[in-house]
Structures are given as C-alpha cells and as structure tokens.
Amino acid sequence: MGVAHDGFSYYFIDATRTVIGSCGFWYQTPFFCPPPMWTALGCDAKYEIWNWKPPLGEAERDAWQRPAEVIAALKLAPNAMIASIREHHGYFPVRLARAVPGGRVFAVDYGSGALRYLAQRAKHEKLDNLVAIDGGDRNPRLPVAVDLIVMFDDHTHIDGQREEYFRKLRNALKPGGRIAIIDYLPDSRPIARASADQTKREFAKAGYVLAEEHGFLPKQYFLIFRVSTP
C-alpha cells in the first residue's frame, strides 16, 4: 500500500533531507571524512536510502487504481519474472515485487534520475527482487525472457512506431508470456491518449491476440495480450 503523508509532514521531511543532504557534502570532504572512509563505512548506500523521498499521493491513488484487484487479475505465479516498462515512480513495480517473492521484477526506465530513484525505492522497501534496468522506448534490454510485460499509463508515449516496438517485445517473452496494458481513457486526460480500440489494432498488427479485457478500473482500460499462434 502507499505511504500516506499530509502536506506539512511531507514538506517537513523533504526540508530535513535537504539539510542533511547538504551535510552529506561536507562529510565527504577530505577534512571531515576522506572519501575512502565514507565508502568503507557504507555511508554512500545509507545516504542514498535516507535521501529517497516517499511518493506523495499514493494512498489516494490506491482508491481508484485498485492495485490489489489489478494484481489478482494478472494471475501471477509466485516465481514469475516480470518487466514493468517506464512506470517512473515504482508504484506498480514495488507491488508486483511483493506479489512474486520467488520471482523478479525488472523496472525498465531511462535516465539516471529515474533509475536512481527506482533503485533507492527498492532499497528503502527492502525488495531485493526489484531491479532497475536502463532501457527506454527502443530497447528494454532485459537480461532474461519474462513471463509478463506490463506497461502502465505510458505506452501511448513510446517514440516512433509503437507496432514495431510491440513486435520486438515478442522476443522478450517466454513461451506463453503475456503483455498487460493499463492506460487512461482518452477523455480522462488533457494529453492525447491511444484508445483501447487503437491499442488492440496495433497489437493485432504486431502479432498478438487479446486474451483478456477488464472493466473494473474507473479511469483506465486494462488489456492483456498473448502472442498469436499460426
């Protein structure tokens, strides 16, 4: 579940971390603490975990995102291998990692800031099976084939030809693997979104069949695809 913070508490925590962050700079200076000592004492990892900021508003999101229902609908095996592509703040990756204690979740994103945030969140929440992967739109760079690829609220923004990208993802799936898409309904956001029908057409052209469609999310559509068989 998300971590609830009222506005005052959140900004107080943020301000406190900023002050300690500035102290972190001084502690790493040769006069106060030489860099080898800083590293040897494990201060780098501890400082990164402390400097991680809890997401604001996740508890409110739980009410309409219904993560427990989404994860139940995915029918995950405890040892499932999952790739979550570009879910920047880790809302679903951490929940998926808890759902597959014997498996692994690869949180695929790009940019040092996003990757560092995901890694810090995994450490903070003590999820050894959640791994940040430097990927992006063009190549998720998964180290192994996975049982499930999930894309939450972001597949519309994939650069270039989405159909081509979806076609490439077939090589990242194990036999019988699935791709789950959850995205906002077109009229629920001011930014243009691909509709459920458009997404179905693009996946069909990329060689998939619609396996399941769920309608319990109030703001989003929820589609699950499998690779089509000859």
How far apart CA 178 and CA 199 sit, in angstroms, is: 15
**Residue that the structure tokens 């929940």 belong to:** 95
Per-residue pLDDT of the chain (230 residues; tens, 9 = 90+): 444 444 555 455 555 544 544 454 444 444 445 555 545 544 544 444 445 565 667 778 888 999 999 999 999 999 999 999 887 678 999 999 999 999 999 999 887 778 888 888 898 899 999 999 988 656 778 999 999 999 987 766 676 678 888 998 999 999 999 999 999 888 776 566 788 999 999 999 999 999 999 999 999 999 999 999 87
| Phi, psi (rounded to 5 degrees) for 123 | -65, -45
Q: For position 78, what pLDDT does the model report? A: 97
Where are the domains positioned within the chain?
A: 7-51, 60-227
Q: For position 145, what pLDDT does the model report? A: 97
Contact 165, 138 (CB under 8 A): yes
CATH class of the domain at 60-227 = alpha beta
Question: Which strand ranges, in their side-by-side order, compose the sheet holding 81-85?
Answer: 130-134, 104-109, 81-85, 146-152, 173-184, 220-227, 208-214
